[in-house]
Chains A and B, each alone.
Chain A
Amino acid sequence: MVGAACALYAARAGLAVAVVDRGPVAGGTTGAGEGNLLVSDKEPGPELDLALLSGRLWADLAEERAEAIEYEAKGGVVVAPTPESLAALEAFAAGQRTAGVLTEPVATDQLHDLEPYLAPGLAGAVHYPQDTQVMPALAAAHLLRASGARLLTGRTVTEVLRARDGSVRGVRTDRGDLYAPAVVNAAGTWGAEVASLAGVTLPVLPRRGFVLVTEPLPRRVRHKVYAADYVADVASDSAALQTSPVVEGTAAGPILIGASRERVGFDRSFSLPVVRELAEGATRLFPFLSQVRALRTYLGFRPYLPDHLPAIGPDPRAPGLFHACGHEGAGIGLSTGTGQLIAQVLAGRTPDLDLAPFRPDRFSEEAA
């Protein structure tokens, strides 16, 4: 997804672009996650700024192709089960408001007007109209097509070619070399490997997530609904399992329930305890889901960096190398802003946001 967005905005900036992937389009984490574009889960700071920028860009892109990419500006509803969690949620929302996020408190008695099938007895909620969603694989494929970039799938990058002065001059792939004065590392969870091909370190690691998908239903869940403890999980450093149910309906009918967060390396085996917690959390929020069937479950590996911010921008250690990876659980949403920023620096313009917090060389060697 991130590579597709970089290609689109770079092409729009007038650059000739080739996209290389060892797999097919959306074959990485993009094809294994969900497509929430959330502002609601982000505290004020660089990530929220990137999310707000990205949200505007998505809205622009959706003008011509909302249906093709299944863009839906449905809004998010964060519910608080208890008065304490409601107080914490409202304080959090107040901070977000000052950073430009639209938030609307929802009293208990209005909650069921917004979401009729929510469980009774919840303390309250906050409505975030700027939360939207796309279908990630469709979005990646359509952005790539719109970019007009040369698409080279089924090709693995095996080396980043450097000139004698250390500057990057292209990549070697298993099917030939490609020359270019600039190389963007948008390899997501495998961003560390690609960085190391250029001789630099970038400590991207996998964080596993499961998603549950139900049978198709008529629309009963109208927003993205999740419990307030989710906010705490996203910024968590704990390696232990944490799940919070984000429940949402999709245009196609099935309800998606996700997503768990665990650091277990690239372990692809099924974990009943994890999936059980997803189901448990979702049925707690929406009791009717107890009788709805899960048709499938899938898993993916989010690309995360130790401080939970992506790496975006030029790498001073390897002139000509740019990074656009490590977006963890928000790479779909943040892809447009990332692509725009990368295109701006590639074209030598001032980026819309200060890239300092996203500097790829901000980690010490031990972190890597």
Chain B
Amino acid sequence: MTDGRHHLAVIGAGPAGLAASLAAAARGIHVTLIDSAAAAGGQFYRRPASGLGARRPRALHHQWRTWERLERGLAEHLEAGTIRHLTDHHVWLVERTEPTIAGAGVGAGASADAGDGDGDGDGDGDGDGDGDGDGEEAEAEPGATRHGATRHGASATHTVPAVPVGDPGFTVHALLGPLQERSVAVRADAVLLATGGYEKVLPFPGWTLPGVVTAGGAQAMLKGGLVVPGRTAVVVGTGPLLLPVATGLAAAGVEVAALVESVDPRRLLRGAGTLAAQPGKVAEGARYAAQLLRHRVPFIHLHTVVEAHGEERLEAVTVAALDPDGRVRPGTERRIPCDTLAVGHGMIPHTDLAEALGCRIDGSKVDVDEEQRTDVPGVWAAGETTGIGGAALSLAEGHLAGWSIAARLSGAEPDARAATRAVKSRTRMRSFAAALDAVYAPPAHWSDQVTDDTVVCRCEEVTGGRIREAVADLGAGDVRTVKLLTRAGMGWCQGRICEPAVAGLVGCEQTPARRLLARPVPLGVLARAGTDDDRTPGAGLPPIPR
């Protein structure tokens, strides 16, 4: 490379990707930060689009300060040219390619080595956010960083020098949003997968009605300024994310008729040892509880959703109490009128890019070592792609990944002393995540609610009945066979949504399907990917005949 530096491609600009980018850039690595969203922040710091007249950020709480620090750090590096941020880039494949020597550089003009822009160890606290929630209160700051480096096409293909540690090179292939008809390629010496996770939603009769949204969908409506005060919402499911969603909706003027949680969160208190080590998380929980009270949101625990009602769109929901085995107690059903139903059953890590790279997957998450390295040389992973655990854990993991990458790319051992705080934070947050995991779970018999005519796979319109038939009559005993026999999971989302539901109906483990393409790719793009013509995709294509 003309500037003699190492290049890192970070995929995902959430807390993990941001923390890693700053940590690596501060140590002299050239970073290309790639994200499908229009702005940095990921799921947590997702801000309302500027211009929607959002309110000012709320009181200066710690998490907001963390975000401001990340945002400032990013702005400085963008300015210095040490980080390049590609927004609206949907990565569909990370390819292992042999490194080539010649060629022009990434982020031409990078000159200043912002050696310590982000602090070296972790004294900056980005590995330590003590999570006081309310990310949804964030808003776009006028005059905040606008990354100037979103150059499409022209600088698409880059070549990099051989890496001293002998790792192969990588090419990141990304489709340009929003049309996703053109693809660009970014070369790098190392890759960090920080693609987070996606929401798990289990089906029930009526879940496909308009008005039923995911918890994250409700959150996005809030942050996008699309929430209409005066509506009535019910939040159902399980997991710690329901709290911020319910309080966020209430704070935005929506009447939250109930927060229906299938477990009793007080069980968390039994793991008091873990909790005691988490003053920040306890405070976060307490704050949400206080907000629920303030907005008079009834919290109904040990209940589950039975059915959503409505003709054209959602009109009401029926919930019912659960017995200790996780079955609905007959006679406890109650109907709650509402026009919005936010449903969430937790999160699932994104593993598709890692699968195509051949990284080891541990259950449903990317397997990493203590330096956040996958088993494929040159590929690191951090944040929720390596396990669901909240924003603070993602920050700590991202920071450690950046620290490790910077050292390893120059052939050095990372300096353990510089990472003690982030390591401690990660350990603490992981045990907290494990404690949450042990408490929050969908009811054991949730699939009893799925009637034979409930659609389970929305893309292919496969019902519960057909899935049960494949199991009972055709000998299917796992998700893959059900998919082959019913097409459940073969549609647009490639089973991301229905896989956990199918596994539940079959009564088997949920082993994620191998999705080698992380996004649907036009064949014309695929036909040129990685070749010299790669930079002019879409040119002169005939229109699709209808």
**A residues in contact (CB < 8 Å) with B:** 24-27, 31, 117, 137-138, 141-142, 144-145, 151, 153-154, 212-216, 220, 252, 254, 257, 268-270, 272-273, 275-276, 279-280, 282-283, 287-298
Closest to B494 in A: A296
Using A24-B480, A279-B526, A290-B527 as known contacts, say yes or no to A298 and B474 having CB atoms under 8 A apart: no
Query: Pick the contact of B523 from A138, A252, A289, A296 — CB < 8 Å?
Result: A289
Interchain CA distance A282-B523 in the complex, whole Å: 8
Interchain CA distance A137-B485 in the complex, whole Å: 6
Interchain CA distance A282-B526 in the complex, whole Å: 11
Could you say which residues of chain B place their CB within 8 Å of the CB of A275?
526
Interchain CA distance A237-B208 in the complex, whole Å: 52
Query: Pick the contact of A291 from B93, B181, B475, B515 — CB < 8 Å?
Result: B181
Q: Indicate if the CB atoms of B484 and A270 lie closer than 8 Å.
A: no
Could you say which residues of chain A place their CB within 8 Å of the CB of B507?
none
Q: Indicate if the CB atoms of B475 and A24 lie closer than 8 Å.
A: yes
Q: Indicate if the CB atoms of A31 and B480 lie closer than 8 Å.
A: yes
Q: Indicate if the CB atoms of A25 and B475 lie closer than 8 Å.
A: yes
- What are 8 contact pairs spanning A and B, CB under 8 A? A24-B478, A269-B358, A270-B93, A282-B527, A287-B541, A288-B543, A291-B543, A296-B517
Could you say which residues of chain B place their CB within 8 Å of the CB of A220?
545
Interchain CA distance A24-B485 in the complex, whole Å: 12
Q: Is the interface of B mostly helix, strand, loop or mixed?
A: loop
Using A27-B480, A141-B474, A153-B477 as known contacts, say yes or no to A290 and B522 having CB atoms under 8 A apart: yes
- Is B229 among interface residues, defined by CB-CB distance under 8 A? no
Could you say which residues of chain B place their CB within 8 Å of the CB of A268?
358, 514
Could you say which residues of chain B place their CB within 8 Å of the CB of A117?
545
Could you say which residues of chain A place their CB within 8 Å of the CB of B520?
215, 293-295
- Give a binary string over B332-363; 1 marks a CB under 8 Å from any A CB, 0 the rest: 00000000000000000000000011100000
Could you say which residues of chain B place their CB within 8 Å of the CB of A298?
514, 516
Which residues of B in the span 413-442 have a Cβ within 8 Å of any Cβ on A? none
For B523, B530, B542, the residue with the greatest tally of chain A CB atoms inside 10 Å of its CB is B523
Interchain CA distance A220-B515 in the complex, whole Å: 26
Using A290-B524, A291-B544 as known contacts, say yes or no to A151 and B475 having CB atoms under 8 A apart: yes
Interchain CA distance A297-B103 in the complex, whole Å: 32
Query: Pick the contact of B517 from A151, A252, A297 — CB < 8 Å?
Result: A297
Interchain CA distance A216-B527 in the complex, whole Å: 19
Q: Indicate if the CB atoms of B494 and A144 lie closer than 8 Å.
A: no
Query: Pick the contact of A137 from B473, B481, B517 — CB < 8 Å?
Result: B481
Could you say which residues of chain B place their CB within 8 Å of the CB of A254?
490
Could you say which residues of chain B place their CB within 8 Å of the CB of A287?
541-542
Using A25-B476, A144-B475, A273-B530 as known contacts, say yes or no to A293 and B523 having CB atoms under 8 A apart: yes
Using A24-B481, A117-B545, A252-B487 as known contacts, say yes or no to A215 and B474 having CB atoms under 8 A apart: no
Query: Pick the contact of A212 from B523, B528, B529, B542 — CB < 8 Å?
Result: B523
Q: Indicate if the CB atoms of A141 and B475 lie closer than 8 Å.
A: yes
Interchain CA distance A56-B70 in the complex, whole Å: 68
Interchain CA distance A297-B494 in the complex, whole Å: 11
Interchain CA distance A153-B490 in the complex, whole Å: 24
Using A290-B522, A291-B543, A292-B523 as known contacts, say yes or no to A145 and B473 having CB atoms under 8 A apart: yes
